[in-house]
Structure 1
Amino acid sequence: MQLIPVIDLMAGQVVRGVRGERSAYRPIRSSLCESSAPLELAPRLLERAASDTLYIADLDALTGGALQFQILAALLERLPAVRLWVDGGFRDAESIDAFRQRLGAHAARVTPIVASESLADADRARRCFAAHRAHCILSLDRRQGSLLDPGGCHAHPEWWPARVIVMTLDRVGADAGPDLDTLRSVQALRPELQLIGAGGIRDAADLQRAAASGAQAWLVASALHDGRIGVQHGGQ
């Protein structure tokens, strides 16, 4: 199972995500380096996870602000062999079109994450996946058992692209273990999908359980920053 390191980006800094409570996020304190600057932390996270893919949640964009495009562009220049998965609060097909056009030659290295929480209604959700199913990843979001899904993505598995993230926000940074039951319920709806888990990984044992559940990859941040998993611990 592949580890995908995560950067939660707010006001130009990497912050520590806890339970999706974004107003409480603070600059990261990491064992990897003293800085919370994304250009400093990103290569160290990728090395510890032995990954060629970095997930970026742009919290400014997710909360209604502007996408931090200059930082994305700098990461693409600094890390030429790395792919970025970017959750930029994309609200419709047109916002993804504009993002990909702005990326220019880098567009092939960047995968937009379409979060169910960001799609305001079923029409926007349906049109978004009709236009971009081939090159996006859907994030099916929930918190404390409730769906974050105004567009009804959970109810329409026929819309889904080939890769789906099962995002349980209250497990993020909470040391609560991975939400394998939800992952299996999504898997039952579309068994052929590539499923990516998110949140809850505490140690190598959790990684083994997650891999056995059928996940192709898992989004991880806190356990990497804290040194509880990674290549030096045999956590692949």
Structure 2
Amino acid sequence: MKIIPAIDLLDGQVVRLQKGDYAQKSVYNENPVEEAAKFKNAGFSHIHVVDLNGAKSGTFENLSIIKKIINELGLSVQTGGGVRSRSDIDQLLNAGLSGVICSSMAVKKPDEWIGAVSDHPEKMILGLDLKDGKMAYGGWLETSDQSISDFLQPMIDAGLQTVLSTDISRDGMLSGPNINMYEELQSDFPNLNWIASGGVSNTDDLKNLQNIDVYGVVVGKAYYEKKISLDQLAELHID
């Protein structure tokens, strides 16, 4: 299982939100490049970066910081937040991103998204955010009644390989990941690489995810709140 350290950017700072609420933020570092360097020094080569400003505005307000992390540290970065169109995807790929995460665009502009998946299947990551069993998008402010199966099948047909799925009710809450949800998703769609996100609070949570053989897990708040050390993350990580 790949462990993917997370950096959430808001106004140029490293922050974490509770349940996606911009009014409930904690600032952990005012220097994101410095924070990313800690992960590199611990042996990680790939990290997860979210532009929270972009998720609301649709503009990559923190892209210059992400490019610094890539160019100065040599890290591989997957990013999401603010991706609204194919031109946005192309801009991010041209900036050096190794993975582009889309959720809103996949709902609102499926033809453009599926075209990008077809052209770059190894770099496109679907952000499947679930709120009370429904798909959520638009910074978790909107939900869809479409079934997950109907939603995913055209993307799978186009070559989709990886899905990052978050149980919003657990994001930033340190309440443990929704193991049953990930088991069901993997059972229903066994050919996809599932990345778990949200709720990880300790090493036992990571081991539970390992036991169900998820492809990867994003770890954020548990690290920043010192529930899991960087050394512990590095020990459990398989590249």
**TM-score, normalized by length of structure 1?**
0.83
Residue 162 of structure 1 corresponds to: 161
Percent identity between the two aligned chains: 22
Q: For 1:165 and 1:6, how far apart are their aligned partners in 2?
A: 13
Matches within 5 A, 1:4-83: 4-28=4-28, 35-48=29-42, 50-67=43-60, 68-80=62-74, 82-83=75-76
Structure 1 alignment gaps of length 5 or more: 29-34
Residue 125 of structure 2 corresponds to: 137
Distance apart, 1:124 and its partner CA:
4.4
Structure 1, residues 94-135: CA drift from partner, whole Å, max 9, x if none? 32123323x1xxx3x521111257642544444443344332
Structure 1, residues 18-49: CA drift from partner, whole Å, max 9, x if none? 21213322322xxxxxx43101211124445x
Q: For 1:130 and 1:141, how far apart are their aligned partners in 2?
A: 22
User: For the structure 1 residues 221 and 46, does the alpha-carbon distance in structure 2 shift closer, same or farther, using more than 3 Å as the test?
Assistant: farther
Matches within 5 A, 1:194-233: 194-233=193-232
User: For the structure 1 residues 126 and 168, does the alpha-carbon distance in structure 2 shift closer, same or farther, using more than 3 Å as the test?
Assistant: same
For these two proteins, the number of residue pairs brought into alignment is: 223
Letter in 2 for 1:135: K
Q: For 2:232 and 2:121, how far apart are their aligned partners in 1?
A: 36
Asked whether the 8 Å contact 2:164–2:195 carries over to 1, the reply is yes
Letter in 2 for 1:148: A
User: For the structure 1 residues 128 and 232, does the alpha-carbon distance in structure 2 shift closer, same or farther, using more than 3 Å as the test?
Assistant: closer
Residue 140 of structure 2 corresponds to: none
Matches within 5 A, 1:83-232: 83-101=76-94, 103=95, 107=96, 110-116=98-104, 119-148=107-136, 150=144, 154=148, 155-158=150-153, 159-160=155-156, 161-232=160-231
Letter in 1 for 2:31: A
Distance apart, 1:146 and its partner CA:
2.7
Asked whether the 8 Å contact 2:58–2:82 carries over to 1, the reply is no
SS where residue 148 of structure 1 aligns?
A: strand
SS where residue 200 of structure 2 aligns?
A: coil
Q: For 1:26 and 1:41, how far apart are their aligned partners in 2?
A: 15
Distance apart, 1:15 and its partner CA:
0.8
Q: For 2:40 and 2:184, how far apart are their aligned partners in 1?
A: 30
SS where residue 134 of structure 1 aligns?
A: coil
Letter in 1 for 2:2: Q
Q: For 1:124 and 1:151, how far apart are their aligned partners in 2?
A: 21
Q: For 1:144 and 1:117, how far apart are their aligned partners in 2?
A: 21
Letter in 1 for 2:30: S
Higher mean alpha-carbon deviation, 161-170 vs 198-207, is at 161-170
Asked whether the 8 Å contact 1:117–1:148 carries over to 2, the reply is no
Structure 2 alignment gaps of length 5 or more: 138-143
Asked whether the 8 Å contact 1:90–1:118 carries over to 2, the reply is no
Asked whether the 8 Å contact 2:105–2:113 carries over to 1, the reply is no
Asked whether the 8 Å contact 1:92–1:119 carries over to 2, the reply is no
User: For the structure 1 residues 75 and 232, does the alpha-carbon distance in structure 2 shift closer, same or farther, using more than 3 Å as the test?
Assistant: closer
